[in-house]
Amino acid sequence: MPTSTLSTTTTIVSSTMITASILTTT
């Protein structure tokens, strides 16, 4: 798996987790 793809996937997952946390808190 290319590093760029891994970075993109990690960024997407992080954003999703942050969004989920915000929605849960709110």
Per-residue pLDDT tens listing for the chain (26 residues): 567 888 899 999 999 999 999 988 87
Q: What is the pLDDT of residue 1?
A: 56
Say how far residue 25 (Cα) sits from the centre of its chain: 17
Q: What is the pLDDT of residue 5?
A: 86
Dist CA 26 CA 19 (whole Å): 10
